[in-house]
Structure 1
Amino acid sequence: MMPLFFFLFFMFMVVYAMLIAYYHKAWNRLPEFALPEKQASVFISVIISARNEEKNINALLQSLQDQQYPKELYEVIIINDHSTDNTWSLLQAYNGELMQLKTLQLSDHVEERNAIASYKKKAIETGINAAAGELIVTTDADCRFDAGWLQTIASFYETNEAKFIAAPVTYYNRSSLLSIFQTLDFLTLQGITAASVYKRFHSMCNGANLAYERSAFYEVDGFNNIDHIASGDDMLLMHKIFKLYPEKVFYLKNRHAIVTTEPAASWKQFFHQRIRWASKADHYDDKRIFWVLLLVYLLNVCFLAGAIASFWNHTWMMLVLLLLLAKVLIEFPFVNSVAIFFGQQRLMKYFPFLQPLHIGYTIIAGWLGKFGKYEWKGRTIKK
């Protein structure tokens, strides 16, 4: 039994090494977008769903107001998703002369069959229905933007005639263990996102920084057939558009396009966030990403099983440590190259030491994403 287990463990590691090498090569080959001299002119509608974001709203509005893109070429639509704090009052108090801002209230009516799962998608859909823009840009209420964010997205859209654009996201760097861990984990995800979209290997993105044609949204019937899933306003929609326009889905690699967002404030919030992300895994039409996620999960389970086995056979401890070192050596060059792009390279000194924590969280979040429940914006969602 043990020889068979070790063989599977070793084979998972070999395949994983090949996969990471593929991502690393694709990331390095993905060119950074250089803005053309010609000024973009597409009209943009920025859509944001906000729920209980009173501590972030003012900074969000200021960051949007500071955009270099001409004020007459973009509007901001913020949909209040039944906030129980002062979010709506703060939105109403904003001086509308500084930029084009529409504030909407999400209807109390949500179809019973969809219940809680529909809220964010319904908010985005409400915003799109009220939008005047040819290009829809979605982000979150706790995000901040470089002044050239919208200008870069608009130029990339017009240059490539894109239908869907996934763009870079990172976390504010805090000094806590939780913040460092989240940032490094997210850097890995961003590298994989960029590489997979560039190579059209599988669909992947993050809802904090997306752009897509309004017409393409309606062509794929929006969130229809995925509106019963609590997450998925990003990747599941992306795949619907990818199936219709496989050559018009892109990743925008440019530092001015980076969106910065808040990390989870506690370990509990972090796990609930990751469980929510994991919960949509079995809903992917793109089965390529399902097999990638399964490989990663099984590899991490092997590490846990090997660590448990080492209590009875100390030889296993040496084997697990050697494979753990191999995992670090496989991942480090890739994550380091992504960290350089995001200006987070100084955090890489912590990367090897956080591996056991990463393995544990992957196993727990993956399992609970399939069989558990989680809290999201004060709501409890059950699988």
Structure 2
Amino acid sequence: MLAIGICYFLLVISYTWGLYLLGKAWQVESPCQSASLPTPTDFSILVPFRNEERKLTALLHNLLVNLPLASKVVFIDDHSEDDGAALVRSFIEAFDVQNWCVEPSKGQGKKAALTTGIEASQAKIILTIDADVSLSKEWLKTMLAPFNKENIQLVAGPVMTYSNAGIFFKFQQIEWASLLLVSNYFFKIGRPLMCSGANLAFRTSAFEAVAGYSGNFHIPSGDDEFLLKKINKRFGPDALVYLNSPSAIVQTEPLASPEDWICQRSRWASKWNVHKEYGHGFTAALLVFFCLIVLASIPLAFVSWKLTCMFLLVWGLKLLAEKAVLSKVLNSFGLIFSNHIWFLSGWIYPIMVLASLPNAILGKYTWKGRKN
């Protein structure tokens, strides 16, 4: 039995080393780096939405305050069953925002909505956000600045949930920090794995060069990752930028319940076998294996007092490593958590991952009223 404890100890050492490498790559960029650069003017911001009337109210006011008046914003209605489209039109009319418009999607799903928006905007640079985000005054300039280099074709920005009270909402921010950490690292080594359509920008010419979302329209989500992979394959990793600057961040609404989290992560994970890349499958399998190992350590710790001592050491090292590295990301965005939040999140995460596994494998989930 002691051999089991030693194996766990070696595993957590490897895990700690992996976190160290990820954390070492997280170097926050100063907003001053892009302050002196001119801002490209031929751009459009796309906001696809479906049944998000409540969220649109806050977004509209946020955009009005934080975007230059000349900014073109295209809202694309993906066959909503509420009054979201009417709300946006009323807002545009009430505040006389001449460069904003609402377009009905020409197809079904987010990819069709975005394609409709790209065609309607006729801009050289496209920025995409979701209907539940909040952005700052510096966001637009920061996201556009890399496009001053002609070779840059796609820019991905960070996403973080709003700060709310309660362990589940803090857990989501810690998990988002891990996603940002992994995204940043793989962009840095030239093998980008993922990005978020809630904070993404790309050249229309690059979108057209890779035939947009062609070949992926039948998949309900994944517009961001599939486009990332296509552009990376066509133009190479040097044409892609990941911005981890605080001025580039958008905040998104946290999920209300564990059930919502499981549904969303099942949807995300269900795309692993579509990418046809070993990296995605290996990463998913490694995550599941690690979560199983972590939870299996609980009953093993009660086998003998020697294993109890060994696992207390293992759990302590894991907690310290996660806090040290992920705090580096969270501190970049002004987020600080107490030790008990870190401790509880460390156990919540493997439980949630394994709970989402069956639907991820079967590809079964409901998204915005549509079942897959």
Q: CA deviation at 1:206?
A: 1.3
1:307 equivalent in structure 2: 298
Match of 2:121 among 128, 131, 145: 131
Q: What does the per-residue CA deviation read over 1:285-308, in whole Å, with 9 as the maximum and x for residues that have no partner?
A: 443343233222211111223334
* 1:149 maps to amino acid: W
Report the equivalent of 2:353.
362
Contact residue 74 and residue 100 of structure 2 kept, 8 A: yes
Deviates more, 1:276-285 or 1:141-150: 276-285
Give CA-to-partner distance per residue, 1:222-247, whole Å, 9 cap, x none.
11222222221111211111111221
Residue 24 of structure 1 corresponds to: 23
Q: Aligned to 1:55, what secondary structure does the other structure show?
A: helix
Q: Are the counterparts in 1 of residues 44 and 74 from structure 2 also a CA contact under 8 Å?
A: yes
Aligned to 1:60: 59
Residues 246-281 of structure 1: CA deviation (Å, up to 9, x unaligned): 211011122221101100112221211111111112
Give the AA of the match of 1:333.
A
Whether 1:184 and 2:174 are equivalent positions in the alignment is yes
State whether residues 220 and 240 of structure 1, in contact with CA within 8 Å, keep that contact through their aligned partners in structure 2. Answer: yes
Residues 1:141 and 2:138 aligned together: no
Once the two structures are superposed, residues 98-118 of structure 1 have per-residue CA deviations (whole angstroms, 9 ceiling, x without a partner) of 2511211124x55xxxxxxxx
Instruction: Select the residue among 72, 76, 79 that pairs with 1:82.
Output: 79
> What are the Cα deviations for residues 357-382 of structure 1, in whole angstroms up to 9, with x where unaligned?
1111122223431136222112222x
Please tell me whether residue 327 in structure 1 is matched to residue 318 in structure 2: yes
SS of residue matched to 1:306: helix
Deviates more, 1:253-262 or 1:209-218: 253-262
Distance 1:214 1:372, change over 3 A: closer
Which residue matches 2:49? 50
- CA deviation after TM superposition for structure 1 residue 171, in Å: 0.8
Whether 1:215 and 2:212 are equivalent positions in the alignment is: no
Corresponding residue SS for 1:46: strand
TM-score, normalised on structure 2? 0.90
Q: Distance in 2 between matches of 1:49 and 1:253?
A: 24
Q: Secondary structure at the match of 1:330?
A: helix
Query: What is the CA-CA distance between 1:345 and the residue it aligns to?
Result: 1.8
How far apart, in 2, do the equivalents of 1:143 and 1:310 lie? 43
Q: Report if the CA contact (8 A) 2:267-2:363 is conserved.
A: no
Provide the C-alpha distance between the structure 2 equivalents of 1:105 and 1:317, rounded to a whole number of angstroms: 60
Would the alpha carbon gap of residues 298 and 76 (structure 1) be closer, same or farther in structure 2, given more than 3 Å must change?
Answer: same
* Structure 1, unaligned runs of 5 or more: 111-118
Deviations 1:19-43 (A, max 9, x none): 2111111113x53352232431331
The CA deviation at 1:148 is 1.8
Q: CA deviation at 1:10?
A: 5.1
Match of 1:375 among 345, 366, 370: 366
SS, match of residue 152 in structure 2:
coil
Deviation of the 1:15 alpha carbon: 3.7
Quick check: 1:306–1:317 contact (8 Å CA) kept in 2? no
RMSD after superposition = 2.4
Give unmatched runs, 5+ long, in structure 2.
none
Contact 2:29 2:243 (C-alpha < 8 Å) held by counterparts: no
C-alpha separation in 2, matches of 1:20 and 1:160: 34
* Structure 1 residues 347 and 258: alpha-carbon distance in aligned structure 2, compared to 1, 3 A threshold: farther
Distance 1:248 1:350, change over 3 A: same
Deviation at 1:182, TM superposition (A): 0.8
8 Å CA contact 2:92–2:100 kept in 1: the answer is no
User: How do 1:1-383 and structure 2 match up within 5 A?
Assistant: 9=8, 12-28=11-27, 31-33=29-31, 34-69=33-68, 71-72=69-70, 74-96=71-93, 97-107=96-106, 110=108, 119-159=109-149, 161-246=151-236, 247-310=238-301, 316-346=307-337, 350-371=341-362, 373-381=364-372
**In 1: Cα distance, 2:150 partner to 2:110 partner:** 29
SS in 2 for 1:228: coil
SS at match of 1:147: coil
